[in-house]
Structure 1
Amino acid sequence: MGDIAVVGIDCAFPGAAGVQAYWDLLVGGRSGIGPVPGRRWEARDFPAAGDSGGFIDDADVFDSDFFSITPREAAAMDPHQRLLLPCAWRALEDAGRAPGDLAGSGTGVFVGVMGGEWGRLTMSDLDRVTPLLGSGSSAGMAANRISYHFDLTGPSLAVDTACSSSLVAVHLAANSLLAGECDTALAGGVNVVLSPSLGLVYGQLGLAAADGRCKPFGAEADGIGRSDGVGLVVLRRLADAVADGDRVYAVLRGSAVNQDGRSNGMIAPNRWSQERVLNAAYRRARVSPAEVAFVEAHGTGTVLGDAIECAALGSVHGVPREAPCAIGSVKGNLGHTEGAAGIAGFIKTALALHHRIVPASLFAERENSRLRLGERGLRLLKSPVRLPRGETVAGVSSFGMGGTNAHAVLASAPRTPRAVPARDRAESGAAGVFTVSADTPEALRRNLAAQADALAARPGGGAAALCRSSNRVKTGLPHRFALTARDTGELVAGLRRAVELRTPAPGEPHPAGDRPWGRPVVAFLFTGQGSEYPAMTAGLYRESPAYRRHFDAADAALAAHLGRSVREAVLGEAAAAQEGGAEGRAEARAGSGGEGGRPELVQPALFAVGYALARTLIDLGVTPAAVLGHSLGEYAAAVTAGVLTLDEAAGLVVRRAKLTAALPSGGGMTTVAAGADELAVALAAEPEVVVAALNGPADTVLSGPLDALARIGEELAGLGIRTRPLASPYAFHSAQLAPVAAGLRAAPVHCAPAALPVASTRYGRMLRDEPMDAGYWAGQTEEPVLFDAALGALVHDIAPTHLVEIGPRPQLTRIAARAGSLGGAELLHPAPGPEGTGQDLAETVAALYRCGLDPVWEELYAPEHRVSEPLAPYVFSSAQRYWDRPPASVEPMVERRRPERPAVSRETPMSEVSRETPNEETGGDDPVLVAVVEAVTEVGGYPTERVVREARFHEDLGFDSVMIMQLKNRVEARLPRVGEVSVQQMLPALRSVGSLAEFLDGVIMARSA
């Protein structure tokens, strides 16, 4: 048998709600046994069943809204199903998977569930049988319900082999993985003690413990105490788990299942069958019994069962071995969780191997001497045992009352130490984006608080790996939160601030928000010359592996034409630090691109920055809907749009830079706070000065000889018009650039049609079929930059929600903001100047995620941070409670009561309905909408205030095909004038409550005409 990794766990057992609580209960040697909750049954009425047992706290809590299940359906569901759904969600999260990401995958679900008490309790009253009870009471639905709600298409089956059900489910899941039927599997079991019936059976058989406590292998053992429990593990093939960097709790080396056959009684255990299943499991696991350090036994605490099991264990494990085989049973802590008993022991063993501590077995202080444990080479664990270093092998047994036996062999997980480069240990923590998502604003606040509390309890340190884990797990739900952070202290503080901002004042509704209703539409604006500064983007180069990779690619492409490294010249110390040397530091200061820097280095460097930033964002999932480049920025824009290859653009940029460097000095540029029309008179007096750029209605750049610019500046100042000389050594976009244009026009350019819309700042509009060939680049060099017109065209045609500036510091976004030409778009910059770092890039991605982008998060993190870190599980709402056993009438069993409303019969005039129900949210004086609301309320069992006009049938109200048919019948009964309408006719209108009402109103009008 191949090795299977246990990569995720979730559980809830008596006194232990969650994996950590379960482990704390085990190592603390505590018991979860208590009195029977009043909602189950009155113990005094069934004394033979006992007055205590193991019961899960709040077993009636179920967040039906989260799973889009109507209150009426939730009330009809077997509590086993209600416990399994959130357990499955949390187990997948614990495995480092966002449950929604598995939708449509062949993930398998294998659930052990024993008996069918819910069906017996609900289906016996034939007058009250409903379709929802039919599906809600089926044991097979225990697995199918998970597969349906998570949209999993792999094997899905419920297993009932009595007490061994959940361990048999694990065995089947492992075999399914090995057979290639699925790549991920959820396996486990569930048990809810709904009635005293099975307790009465145990009592009549003499198997019930008088105090409701199992005392496995103890001298006081007198029988079984029944208990609730739910547990699921996420299983993957070990090779796949290791390759993906999953955290592995333990390794399932092998398992076996057999049957007693015809032995000494249908419900009596069989020693020889137990021996055979143990040996079969060890053969499949490729281990000898002598290698097994401890066994989590079935250990029910019955006299016969304990004796037979110890005889079988001793026969297999006892001889010969150097040290006795340790045994124990979790039933001493929990009681007998029946269908979930095997998974309770399996999870205990996996956690013991993970923490390298085997908890003591309760009631072991006085072991049953008649079991002769010492003689048989066995040792009952009276205190916790710390496991030695190296691999440890353990066994888990679970035996069914009908004779189906299962045994699993687990081993400790392989050690995979992480190597962290010295430079990363020395640096401050890398920045990441911590994400949390939830189904409602209130749920988001609740989960933000849970994450803050859990992270505050951790040791301080870097936050990058935690952020990366949150991106893999805590995304996918409609309400989103994202926060950039470098360390856990910064992260906890930010989460706590977010909780405070989302906490409503007493009596106020919860603030809405945090939900994007679409995806962002992003346009890239590429900055031109004038945005450069010494060592530009050095912080981002140091911290972002993706940016580093793309900048180095641009550097290599430029070096082939330039004959030197732009990276060394511009980034200098930052680049050298990445390579562990100091080469190039002197050049960094000489040619690093101050505003008066040398064009043969500055222009290629700006292109490298623009190209690398754009490629980094695209790798992160930020795909631009359009691009715009300002002057030199058009080269990187053209590469991003697919017009030029990187090599072609690099050659062009270097040619432009060298031609520019050969120009004589004496030219310059000045920015003027006025429009071109206002400058006409001044320009007429200085014919050598031209408009170089029209950036906005009152934002013009002039270009020409320095003396002429100075004279214009004095004249404009006298008119009260502000001017500011730019630190430019040349009169760009003027006739002085004619030699550069001629040089560019002389060399052919291989260009392709644009794959993205391009806003051309040469033409001041969206590029149509014009090629960006040599003629384009020549004209673009000496003609004015029509930025304002180009941006206006982009905003009009593309309607971007976000403008992301691509350059070493903000320039175009400030110009656009001054011009008021943004069209409501939000401005973002991933590298906002000399202080910019990887955190600014992370914040750009975080802002877009909050607005609906689903980033490729992995690209944000260095390899050493791409590891799984445990996070607090999703906290579901506890507001919705359903009885954990059905009352006399199977009606919605939601504890919160909806407001009383007048009864409406099919004979009630609609005028009376509207007069008696003046609720604007649910219809007001619209009789058709009122009738639809009433019908939806009746079918779904929702409080009336939930059924608003905008509520969507499938996403918000959880209606399925059966409920739609019931809704059709009720609507027709309430609105006789509609007549008969087929479901096919209704389907297009089933978008929302309001759309259905509008459709029905139209039907009435058409039939009245």
Structure 2
Amino acid sequence: GVSGTNAHVIIEQAPDIEQQPARQPINGAIPLVLSAKSITALRDQATRLAQHVERDSSSLVNLAHNLLTTRSLFDHRAVIAGTAHDEVLAGLRAVALGITETGVAVDVVREQGKTAIVFAGQGSQRPGMGRELYRSYPVFAEAFDAACASLERHMAVSLRDVIFGEDAELLSKTLYAQPALFVHEVASYRLLESWGVAPSHVMGHSLGEVTAAHVAGLLTLDDACRMIAARARLMQNLPSGGAMVAVEASVQEVQAEGLPDAISIAAVNGPDSVVLSGNESDVAGLMSRWQGRGRRVERLKVSHAFHSALMAPMLAAFQQILDTIAFSSAAIPIISNVTGKKASDEELGQASYWLRHVRRPVQFLDSVRTLREEGVSVFLEVGPDSALAALAERCVVPEDASACAFLSFGRRTQPEVTAAVTAAGALFTHGVDVDLTAIAGATETTFDIGLPTYAFQHRRYWLADSVVAQPEVLQGSVPLADPVESRSLLGRRLLEAGVKDRMNVALETVTTQISSILHLPLAEIDVTKPFSDMGFDSLTGVELRNRLSEMAGIALPPSLVFDSPTPVQLAEHLLAVLLENLAPPSTTTESPVLRPADPVVVVGMACRFPGGVASPEDLWDMVSQGVDAIGEFPADRGWDVEALFDPDPDQPGKTYVRRGGFLDDVSGFDADFFGISPREALAMDPQQRLLLEVSWEAIERVGIDPRSLRRSRTGVFAGAYPSDYMSRLSNPPAELHGYAAIGNVLSVASGRVSYMLGLEGPAMTVDTACSSSLVTLHLAAQALRADECTMALACGMTVMSSPQAFVEFSRQGGLSPDGRSRAFSDSADGTG
């Protein structure tokens, strides 16, 4: 029929069947990843996936594997940590509704900051801590056992039995609490490390700083364990009777008030949170005084008055142990509890520092603010419970806190594996590099499953006759700023940079030149935004090419900004070209290999058809159930149906038919997803819009991340019907000039898909009337057999933007009166 279809198939040479092993932890939670370009799309993605999980009982490992490997990753992210389908469904529904739920992390990637790990101090211990992690993750268990073995050389008990036992009173003794926390935190860090988490800084709260010193490389495991065991033993042997109290007051208020000689400030935990420590009677008096002023006061459950003068009797014996310890250089910067500043190796390597660490107050407030000054925006508390994360958030000025994330690895109220994987997921949602495939873990065969495709967010883009339907989208301006000085010696900079930093150097070079050419502040440059949307034209594109060519010392093509249409893609291309030119010349060349005997197979499909068909499954249901897809003329395309209809086929400008098969929502399009401006979207033929969305879906349905096809030899073959969309505008406004032509020329359609995906195979649009889609399949298969491409996208599309075709066919008497085509039937009476 002529009234509108859109279908795509991907065909390729048949590969050998190979099953890929996936990995699954024994009892661990599985991370399921969703991402989108907006929070609304993310919620819709969650709704779609929840419906899929309800129907499909595939293993969570298989589901996680497919989500991680076959879907593009965008900035709006959610991670659901689940051990069973009901947990996953609850998490997905929470994301869909925008509510909080255990095991769910949702956020948007912001400007990339640094990550700090903060190790908890005494008081966070609990019986059984680490037991679930020990059973679920071999990396945790190995590190746990190694730390226990080293500590037990200095203890008379099995530390593992104390930790995993149920005697809370025994574990609360300093003799066991400090070694137990050290073991738990070291094992937790090693688990995070195996998941790819690499902090830029570490710090601890009191005892936690010893853990920080060990994981940073300052202390070997054995030396750290000797320090911890001695510290715990000597503190335990001190006389009891001390007390500690947390007071809602600033350190300035406390100092102005004055303290008895036997009372010390033990910790400055926030701008209005101070811990006081000393003998029992004086602490009790201070509690009454501050309570009388309406301040919150909390007595801490401790065995001794830590960080006070009552610690003095242990210092001499502790120094004897410290003098036998060999300190190394820290591979990760450590923030000092003693000073609240970044500590040097020289400072940390002195026994006197660790004596002051026992006696002096914990400068937690200053430490957190130092981390912010160092560029840290993600704070991860590592310990068996969550306490420091909330304290750290209060240490950051309120207007700055929204740019940060404060996370906890452990939570007393949650299963350990769920809390740990949720923390890793939260890191991931904030843009921190986390290897979620490592979390998914061990030994199960995985296979591709039919995951839901991307939830495009449609906005209406439809031209009214001679009037712009949405004039507000045609407005907009860009503020100007001073140019930024350009960089030079690019090749040398790349060679001198480490492998991990080279992309940053290339991207910095590109954005600096963009800033200079367009007079834009660097902070306003979105590296994923197309050059055309930034304001680049052919002249400024050539200027950017010329500058980069001069800096790189190589000739770059004039089409540079069209071949690599965003700053990040251009940086990737520039880096690849430079490294290729700097590398030794290759002595081999690639030549086409003909495989005439290889079969060509259809590996994926996506479609839109009349009757609300949005997938191949919908189409099969419609056909198998005999559903009638024929309906009235559409009401959303601006057609005056009553004025058009006349039962007399000889009436000029009329149609004697008012039924047919029409696509739903042809005006809807997710322009933001494809980086297309609203004015360009408005000028685009809806056939091109559908082509973009359904092409993306077809690739996703194969189980391929569409972005992974960039620079691949994938061809696009599109069959199209001549568009009459622009006929709706007799005099397009100036704002649409430059968009109207490329948005409505058939030949552009296939190239637009290739451009969007960064493909390097042939791109061809054909119009052979009703046979166009069949011809594209033929051409695609032919190109595969001739090795002109390795994979091909074959497409067919028709959208009736105006009723003109019905008017023309009416005058010819070529329309089926009821809108139904009966091809190859004796009762055929026209096209529908």
Q: How does 1:555-566 map to 2 (within 5 A)?
A: 555-566=148-159
Q: 1:861 to 1:873 in 2, by over 3 A?
A: closer
Give the letter aligned to residue 602 of structure 1: A
1:491 aligns with 2:491: no
Instruction: Select 2:358's aligned residue among 773, 778, 781.
Output: 781
Q: 1:476 to 1:691 in 2, by over 3 A?
A: same
The structural deviation recorded for 1:466 is 3.0
The structural deviation recorded for 1:540 is 3.7
Instruction: Select 2:270's aligned residue among 672, 693, 696.
Output: 696
Q: 1:901 to 1:837 in 2, by over 3 A?
A: farther
Instruction: Select 2:327's aligned residue among 712, 732, 751.
Output: 751
Secondary structure at 1:724's aligned position in 2? strand
Instruction: Select 1:805's aligned residue among 376, 381, 388.
Output: 381
Q: 1:39 to 1:629 in 2, by over 3 A?
A: same
Unaligned runs of 5+ in 2: 100-105, 481-522, 544-555, 569-674, 678-832
The structural deviation recorded for 1:896 is 7.5
- In structure 1, the partner of 2:343 is 767
Give the letter aligned to residue 87 of structure 2: E
CA distance in 2, matches of 1:492, 1:792: 39
Instruction: Select 1:609's aligned residue among 176, 179, 184.
Output: 184
Q: 1:951 to 1:634 in 2, by over 3 A?
A: closer
- In structure 2, the partner of 1:727 is 301
Give the letter aligned to residue 667 of structure 1: G
1:569 aligns with 2:150: no
- Size of the aligned set, in residue pairs, is 500
Instruction: Select 1:589's aligned residue among 167, 176, 187.
Output: 167
Indicate the structure whose relative CO is greater, using CA pairs within 8 Å and at least 6 residues apart: 2
Secondary structure at 2:227's aligned position in 1? helix
Unaligned runs of 5+ in 1: 1-36, 41-56, 62-82, 88-110, 112-186, 189-232, 247-417, 503-512, 573-587, 881-894, 904-915, 927-948, 970-980, 996-1009
The structural deviation recorded for 1:555 is 1.8
Contact 1:538/1:571 (<8 A) preserved: yes
The structural deviation recorded for 1:725 is 2.1
Contact 1:764/1:786 (<8 A) preserved: yes
- In structure 2, the partner of 1:436 is 34
Q: 1:953 to 1:812 in 2, by over 3 A?
A: closer
CA distance in 1, matches of 2:121, 2:528: 50
The structural deviation recorded for 1:704 is 1.5
Give the letter aligned to residue 846 of structure 1: G
Contact 1:451/1:871 (<8 A) preserved: no
TM-score for both structures, normalised by structure 1: 0.44
Q: How does 1:960-975 map to 2 (within 5 A)?
A: none
1:736 aligns with 2:310: yes
- In structure 2, the partner of 1:707 is 281
CA distance in 2, matches of 1:523, 1:797: 10
- In structure 1, the partner of 2:644 is none
1:482 aligns with 2:79: yes
- In structure 1, the partner of 2:64 is 467
- In structure 1, the partner of 2:141 is 548
Overall identity of the aligned pairs, in %:
26
CA distance in 1, matches of 2:113, 2:253: 38
CA distance in 2, matches of 1:464, 1:989: 36
1:536 aligns with 2:129: yes
Give the letter aligned to residue 793 of structure 1: T
Contact 1:628/1:791 (<8 A) preserved: no
The one-character-per-residue Cα deviations of 1:916-945 (angstroms, maximum 9, x if unpaired) are 99865455999xxxxxxxxxxxxxxxxxxx
- In structure 1, the partner of 2:412 is 833
Q: How does 1:500-539 map to 2 (within 5 A)?
A: 516-519=109-112, 521-539=114-132
Q: How does 1:18-417 map to 2 (within 5 A)?
A: 38=2, 58-59=6-7, 61=8, 83-84=9-10, 111=12, 187-188=13-14, 233=15, 235=16, 241=19, 244-245=21-22
- In structure 2, the partner of 1:17 is none
Q: 1:490 to 1:951 in 2, by over 3 A?
A: same
Q: 1:447 to 1:835 in 2, by over 3 A?
A: closer
Secondary structure at 2:299's aligned position in 1? strand
The one-character-per-residue Cα deviations of 1:17-76 (angstroms, maximum 9, x if unpaired) are xxxxxxxxxxxxxxxxxxxx5599xxxxxxxxxxxxxxxx733x5xxxxxxxxxxxxxxx
- In structure 1, the partner of 2:237 is 662
Give the letter aligned to residue 146 of structure 2: A
- In structure 2, the partner of 1:872 is 450
Give the letter aligned to residue 698 of structure 1: D
Give the letter aligned to residue 58 of structure 1: N
Instruction: Select 2:206's aligned residue among 631, 635, 653.
Output: 631
CA distance in 2, matches of 1:953, 1:670: 51
The structural deviation recorded for 1:850 is 1.8
Residues 826-835 or 559-568, more deviating: 559-568
- In structure 1, the partner of 2:747 is none
1:641 aligns with 2:233: no
TM-score for both structures, normalised by structure 2: 0.52
The structural deviation recorded for 1:839 is 0.7
Residues 467-476 or 789-798, more deviating: 467-476
The one-character-per-residue Cα deviations of 1:679-720 (angstroms, maximum 9, x if unpaired) are 347644x21111111222321112212122223333444444
The one-character-per-residue Cα deviations of 1:280-318 (angstroms, maximum 9, x if unpaired) are xxxxxxxxxxxxxxxxxxxxxxxxxxxxxxxxxxxxxxx
Q: 1:457 to 1:548 in 2, by over 3 A?
A: same
Secondary structure at 2:6's aligned position in 1? coil
Give the letter aligned to residue 371 of structure 2: L
- In structure 2, the partner of 1:457 is 55
CA distance in 2, matches of 1:790, 1:497: 35
The one-character-per-residue Cα deviations of 1:797-816 (angstroms, maximum 9, x if unpaired) are 22x22211111212222333
CA distance in 2, matches of 1:716, 1:494: 44
- In structure 1, the partner of 2:650 is none
Secondary structure at 1:692's aligned position in 2? strand
- In structure 2, the partner of 1:856 is 435
The structural deviation recorded for 1:623 is 1.7
Q: 1:452 to 1:515 in 2, by over 3 A?
A: same
Q: 1:821 to 1:712 in 2, by over 3 A?
A: same
CA distance in 1, matches of 2:238, 2:384: 25
Give the letter aligned to residue 548 of structure 1: A
Tell me how large the CA RMSD over aligned residues is: 4.5
Give the letter aligned to residue 527 of structure 1: A
Residues 467-476 or 781-790, more deviating: 467-476
The one-character-per-residue Cα deviations of 1:607-666 (angstroms, maximum 9, x if unpaired) are 112212222222222221211211101011112222222222111111111111221222
Instruction: Select 2:425's aligned residue among 841, 846, 857.
Output: 846
CA distance in 1, matches of 2:541, 2:397: 50
The structural deviation recorded for 1:446 is 5.8
CA distance in 2, matches of 1:813, 1:958: 43
Secondary structure at 1:490's aligned position in 2? helix
CA distance in 1, matches of 2:567, 2:300: 58
Contact 1:544/1:862 (<8 A) preserved: no
The structural deviation recorded for 1:494 is 3.5
The structural deviation recorded for 1:840 is 1.0
CA distance in 1, matches of 2:312, 2:30: 47
Contact 1:744/1:777 (<8 A) preserved: no
Secondary structure at 2:353's aligned position in 1? helix
Secondary structure at 1:801's aligned position in 2? strand
The one-character-per-residue Cα deviations of 1:186-223 (angstroms, maximum 9, x if unpaired) are x33xxxxxxxxxxxxxxxxxxxxxxxxxxxxxxxxxxx
Give the letter aligned to residue 56 of structure 2: R
CA distance in 2, matches of 1:925, 1:736: 62
Contact 1:540/1:836 (<8 A) preserved: no
Give the letter aligned to residue 713 of structure 1: M
Contact 2:246/2:297 (<8 A) preserved: yes
Contact 1:673/1:698 (<8 A) preserved: yes
Q: 1:820 to 1:923 in 2, by over 3 A?
A: closer
The structural deviation recorded for 1:761 is 1.0
Q: 1:516 to 1:901 in 2, by over 3 A?
A: farther
The structural deviation recorded for 1:499 is 4.1
Give the letter aligned to residue 33 of structure 2: T
